[in-house]
Amino acid sequence: MSKLLVSTTVNGDPQQFLCDPDTTLLDALREEMGLTGSKEGCGSGDCGACTVVLDGEMVCSCLVLAPEAEGRQIATIEGVAEGSQLHPVQRKFLEHGALQCGFCTPGFIMASKALLDRNPNPSESEVRYWLAGNLCRCTGYDKIVRAVMDAAAELRQDRRTAA
């Protein structure tokens, strides 16, 4: 079986890679493109550590086949900061100590940003249910939820200021 050539866009940049048809997008990102910020915690969609945004929707990249990325837009943790300017979600995670080991953090940031992109004013309960697909074993979620709520408040403030 020969490999497939996949042309896709990752964090706004064109990318081409070769893969076996049953390679996951997660493995392609990590092994073919060197983007190891997306993590494998389970390989079965149960932990969310590999969360990326595919054509505007967050997905577990371990549950996407790499060939499916053909012609699609992929956003990963490596593209969240603009240059050296952290996204408010990233900054709030740091300011709240919302990470301990940090392994689940890229997935949480991708999921949290996806939430705030669609709902700028989530309730605590909405945050918790939205993030239920991301496992964190270190923090007990308290500081993560606070960081996301705080990032939402700051983003709302920014929007008001900009308006």
Partner 1 sequence: MPSPAYHAPDTIEQAVALLAGDAGARPLSGGTDLIVQMRSGRTAPSSLVDLKRIAGMKGIRASPDGGFAIGAATPCTALKDDKALSAAWPGVVEAANLIGSVQVRNRATMAGNLCNASPAADSVPALVAAGATCLVAGPSGTREVPVEEIPAAPGRTSLQPGEFVAEIRLPAQKGSDAYLRSIPRTEMDIAVVGAGVSLVVDANGTCTAARVSIGAVAPTVLLVEDAGAALVGSKFDDAALDRMAEAVRAACKPIADKRGTVEYRTAMAGVLAKRVVKIALERAGVSA
Partner 2 sequence: MNAPKQNFRLVGTRPVRPDGIDKVTGKAIYGPDYVAAGMLQGAVLRSPHPHAKIRGIDTKRAEALPGVKAVVTGADFPQAGDKMVSGGEGGAANLRYVTQKCMAIGKVFYEGQAVAAVAATSRAIADEALKLIEVDYEVLPHVISIEDAFRDDAPPLHDDVFTQGLAEKPEKPSNRSMRFAIERGDAASAIAGAAAIFSGHFTLQPVHQGYIEPHACVASWNADGQGQVWCSSQGHFAIRSMTAGVLGIGVADIRVQPLEIGGGFGGKTTIYLEPVAMLLSKKSGRPVRLAMRRDDVFRSTGPAPGAEIDITLAAAADGTLVGAEIELKYHGGAFPGANEVYSGVGTGLGHYKVPNASIVGWNVLSNIPTMHAYRAPGAPQINFAVESAMDELAHKLGIDPIDLRLKNIVRPGDIGGSGVPLGAIGYAESLEAAKAHPHYSALLGPNQGRGVACGAWGNYGGASTAAVSLGEDGSVLVTEGSPDIGGSRASMAIMTAETLGIPYEKVRVTIADTSSIGFSMVTGGSRVTFATGKAVVQATQSVIAILKDRAAKLLGVPAEEVEWVDGAAVHGDQSLTLAQLAAKAGTSGGPISAEAMVDPHDWLPGFGVHICDTEVDNETGQVMLKRYTVVQDVGRAIHADYVEGQMQGGAVQGIGWALNEAYVYTGAGKLDNAGFLDYRMPVASDMPMIDTVMVEVPNPAHPYGVKGVGEVPIVPPLAAVGNSVSAATGLRMTELPITPDRVYGLLRAAE
List of residues contacting partner 1 (CB under 8 A) = 1, 4, 20-24, 43-46, 48, 51, 54, 57-60, 62-65, 67-68, 70, 111, 114, 129-130, 132-134
Give burial (CB, 10 Å; 0-12/13-18/19+) of 91.
middle
Residue 138 binding partner 2, by CB under 8 A: yes
Residue 113 binding partner 2, by CB under 8 A: no
22/71 with CB nearer partner 2: 22
Residue 151 binding partner 2, by CB under 8 A: no
The site partner of 70 among partner 1, partner 2, none (C-beta below 5 to 8 Å per kind) is partner 1
Q: How many residues bind partner 2 (CB under 8 A)?
A: 59
How many CB atoms lie under 10 A from the CB of residue 141? 17
95/133 with CB nearer partner 1: 133
Distance separating the N- and C-terminal Cα atoms of the chain: 55
- Could you write out the DSSP letters of every residue in 101-159? S-SSHHHHHHHHHHHHHH-SS--HHHHHHHGGGS--SSS-SHHHHHHHHHHHHHHHHHH
What is the pattern of x (binds partner 2, CB under 8 A) and - over residues 10-49? ----------x---------x---xxxxxxxxxxx-xx-x
Tokens 């996301």 found at:
148
Around 60, how many Cα atoms within 13 Å sit in the side-chain half-sphere? 18
74/109 with CB nearer partner 2: 109
- Could you write out the DSSP letters of every residue in 68-86? GGTT-EEE-GGGTSBTTB-
Residues that bind partner 2 (CB under 8 A): 20, 30, 34-44, 46-47, 49, 76-78, 80-81, 86, 90-91, 93-97, 99-106, 109, 124-125, 127-129, 131-146
